[in-house]
Chains A and B, each alone.
Chain A
Amino acid sequence: MSHDPFKKDHHLCTKMDEYHVEIPDFPMKSSRWERFINLLASPAKDPVDPFISTTGGVMLLKVAPIIGAAAIALIQALIFL
């Protein structure tokens, strides 16, 4: 390598050095079962979260099951009557 591009920039070096990583203790191998459990345990986004923040969204959440039930009832009525 011809030169170190960080050499002249002490400020950036100081900032870069601030980034520490804590290394957790983990074994070399993990079972598939453990991985599956970790996957299940990892927190995921709430799919209805964006609806809760607006009044229209909350209304939609309340109305959606009624509309759904009405639609299913209509389909059943069309099939069986």
Chain B
Amino acid sequence: MKLSEREDELMTAYQNGDDGALEGIYTLLKQSLYSFIFRYTRDEQLSIDIVQDTFVKLQRYKHNYNPRNGKLKSYLFQIAYRLMITKLNRRKKWRGLLPFLTPIQTEEFHHSDRMTIREAIAKLPELQRAVILLFYYHDMPQEEIAKILEIPTGTVKSRLHTAINRLKEELEGDENESRSL
């Protein structure tokens, strides 16, 4: 049985009143949701909060999910992405008002180090970052990414290509620099 079929089966069971099925959905999708949010924000606590909030929303609106409209994984990623953007925007506002609330960056990038893929992805503009993470790490087709991010498929395609080129430039540029040193 395919993983997506198992997820849908569990979701149907949950919608029909089997509360235990939710635990199964959580076990299946927690890791991919967390890794997406973490790679996007690089904030462990925020990523945990968002995964938990996503499942709270799923419980609250469990009957809104219809398998005909897409996979459960995409549905949860859409909820998580919206929650993440709302939280990040709220944070930006608060930090504008109270700059001392800015947390310490634990993984600051030092120019003396070679640029890793982490830094290269973190340097991407937010919209390109989301596209590349969903495409590469979560094997999502461009149509599904378009649904999650609520943008046209053409935009996904162009952002993906721009992001790939940027990543190549960042990584190659850094390698050339380290070679010349």
CB distance from A78 to the nearest CB of B (A): 32
CB distance from A29 to the nearest CB of B (A): 6
User: A6 with B104: in contact, given A12-B167, A21-B39, A29-B52 (CB under 8 Å)?
Assistant: no
Q: Do the beta carbons of A43 and B121 come within 8 Å of each other?
A: no
Q: Report the Cα distance A27→B38, complex, angstroms.
A: 17
Q: Report the Cα distance A60→B87, complex, angstroms.
A: 36
Is B168 in contact with chain A by the CB < 8 A criterion? yes
Q: Identify which of residues 20-34 in chain A touch chain B, using a CB-to-CB cut-off of 8 Å.
A: 21, 23-24, 26-30
Partner of A5, one of B49, B56, B164: B164
Q: Do the beta carbons of A16 and B117 come within 8 Å of each other?
A: yes
Q: Report the Cα distance A2→B175, complex, angstroms.
A: 31
User: A28 with B23: in contact, given A1-B142, A44-B101 (CB under 8 Å)?
Assistant: yes
Q: Do the beta carbons of A47 and B100 come within 8 Å of each other?
A: yes
Q: Do the beta carbons of A35 and B49 come within 8 Å of each other?
A: yes
Q: Identify which of residues 35-64 in chain A touch chain B, using a CB-to-CB cut-off of 8 Å.
A: 35, 38, 42-47
Q: Helix, strand, loop or mixed for chain A's interface? A: loop
Chain A residues in 8 Å Cβ range of B55: 28-29
Is B103 in contact with chain A by the CB < 8 A criterion? yes
Chain A residues in 8 Å Cβ range of B164: 5-6, 9, 12
Q: Do the beta carbons of A23 and B34 come within 8 Å of each other?
A: yes
Between A and B, 18 residue pairs with Cβ closer than 8 Å are A1-B141, A18-B116, A18-B117, A19-B39, A19-B117, A19-B121, A19-B137, A23-B34, A23-B35, A24-B34, A24-B44, A27-B52, A29-B55, A29-B56, A43-B104, A44-B100, A47-B99, A47-B100
Seen from chain B, the residues whose Cβ lies within 8 Å of a Cβ on chain A are 22-23, 26, 30-31, 34-35, 38-39, 44-45, 48-49, 51-52, 55-56, 99-104, 116-118, 120-121, 136-137, 141-143, 160-161, 164, 167-168, 171
Identify 19 new A-B residue pairs, CB closer than 8 A, beyond the known A23-B31, A46-B100.
A1-B142, A5-B160, A5-B164, A12-B167, A15-B120, A16-B117, A18-B117, A19-B39, A21-B34, A26-B48, A27-B52, A28-B22, A30-B49, A30-B52, A42-B45, A43-B104, A44-B103, A44-B104, A47-B99
